[in-house]
Structure 1
Amino acid sequence: MKEDKIMQPTELVKLGQYRFSGLDASLVGAMKSAADYYRMPLTAAWIYGMTGLAFLHVLDENMAEPNGGPLEPEVFRLARNIGLDIQGIHVYAEGETFARLQAEAWEKAKQAMYASRPVFAKNIDIRNQTSVIHAIDDTGYYTYTWHTGYEHSEEVIPWNLLGLSRCPCIHCVLDRQSSATEEVTDSSAGLISLHWTNPIQAADEEASFKEALEFVIRLNEKAAFQWSGRTYLVGSKAYEHWLTAVENRTLDKYMFSLFVEILTEARNHAVAFLAELRGVLKQVNPALVDELMLIYSEMASEYQILKGMYPYSEPREHELTQHERCAEILRGIMALEAKATVTMMGIYETL
């Protein structure tokens, strides 16, 4: 599609009350940002739990995609249960199809923004991160992200760069210009993932939780799946792969710290979610919920130790140390995850 055929806004269109929630799992953060925009009483823990993300561990085979894994369509289906109707595009594309979808997403984003609906996108600025699009003009998108506040971070991202992870902040620009080790981005291929949100009536909470558990159990039983030419590992398989990389010293500190940040956050929110859920479930023995909460509390504590050992830091640090201690903790977490899965299956069967 040629640019001169695309309807363009004549001035900046901005959603003034739409803000970035700041969660490490940026997909959950985007949904929380949309819920906050609509003043919906949804906690981050409730979103985490009812979409199943509080209980999952999905790892790309190359261990290069924190926040990776094509979970979005399933997650957005589950989000309807908590009152978020999320529509949009989520597909990897190349060549003419990639360009066509960039233009289609641009049209959809403008329509949503004109209607005062919150929009968010993945891989628009930071790779494997979902960012809030709070404004558009005749050039493209303005985002709020983890890099908001850095020099040039709030500059426009042209609409035909969607899917290419082109953060405009000074640090990312310099990295792309100077680092010979950085992966060269193909400008004619990428993940086109842009969505907009409407509030709807939430579903029954017990039934919603059962759907979330079914999603988590199904993925864990599947253990691995293919998407867009990549392999993703789930649950025990993900932990085994992660542990092997630590023991073989093939995983650097920077990537390890990103995985730990996300999983620490998820398991802490799992505990908070189960505490919120406890008084809602009428068919489930509260002792089962308490047991699951205790397991995730132990897990969260173990992750907190790893987070203290390997805090996220910039600039990127490559050397991962304390391999034996790290492996010991991961083995303990693996055992807790297996125990949690058995308990979840028991709760699922009673629902």
Structure 2
Amino acid sequence: MDGLRLVAALMVCAYHYGGRGGPVQQAWGQSPATLFPTLHGAFSYGCLGVQVFFVISGFVICMSSWGRTVKEFFASRVSRLYPAYWFAVLLITAVLALRPVVAQPLPLPEVLVNLTMMQQPMGSGRVLGVCWTLWVEARFYLLFALVVWKGVTYRRSVAFCAVWLVASVLAAGMRLPAVDLVVMPQYAPFFIGGLALYLVHRFGGNPTLWAIVAMSWGLGQYQAVQGLVSPPGTEVFHHRSAWVVTAVITAGYLAVAVVALGWLDRADWRWLTVAGALTYPFYLVHEHLGWVVIEVLHRRLGLSAHATLAATAAGMLLLAWLVHRLVERRWGPPLKRALLRSPGRG
């Protein structure tokens, strides 16, 4: 699962560096479609790494919340997400203030609200372009906390999946912003699929679980096609194929299913754990900071496009390793202990 997470992050990275227009064109000085004539089409599908992330997240959250109280659940999530996130927000704000080539730094009040991770509902600008996915994840955690509150069991988890799946279909039909905010019909199927696949992993497959997985896959691929195949206002310069979008979503589900069924249990290589540790900080820093690095390497220093692409991705992975070692491992555990010691019943 750690390896799959890094693959999904690299997919998103490929999209941000060579599969879209907008600010990345400023970084390169020209369209990535010109720089990568044979790769830009494939890169444009990299944004589907987000949907794969959500399937993995459903699997991992169900696994990590088993046997935990609500207090332990939230302490785990906060200590996991915030230290690297705070560092990334401050680092990228500082870099953009020094070199505002592809984006301008936000005003101080907006930077401060970004530190709460609640900038999306507050209507503030985003320091990190990718942080919209963290708002989606946060709403998933709040919903799943209803299961954790009573104690995560097989029956409660299945009931949660079934109710959320039905609610997502109804919400898609109603098209009410307030309902969409809570139910998230465009993303719910992916989390639900991951939850059901973890239950397959823990209890073995049965018709009910596989039916939930199949239903979530069917709804999820439809939502992905609706949102990503030439939607209004898209910055993608390559017309995506609905068939390819469905194929990528299917591959993501199959990859998580293979892990859930235990077919890769022998693949216990140490580098997979390292890959999993790098994924979150890499995801946070790679976009805006990567664009600045691209502008310096390609436009200022004259490095070739392909060499710049490889060097930037490698540099972001190295930075992610440093963030993991010096920030996450240093500040995550103390934050978790402080939250668990705080007054209140678990």
Structures share fold, TM-score greater than 0.5: no
Relative contact order, CA 8 A, sep 6+: which one is greater? 2
TM-score with structure 1 setting the length = 0.28
Q: Which has the higher strand share?
A: 1
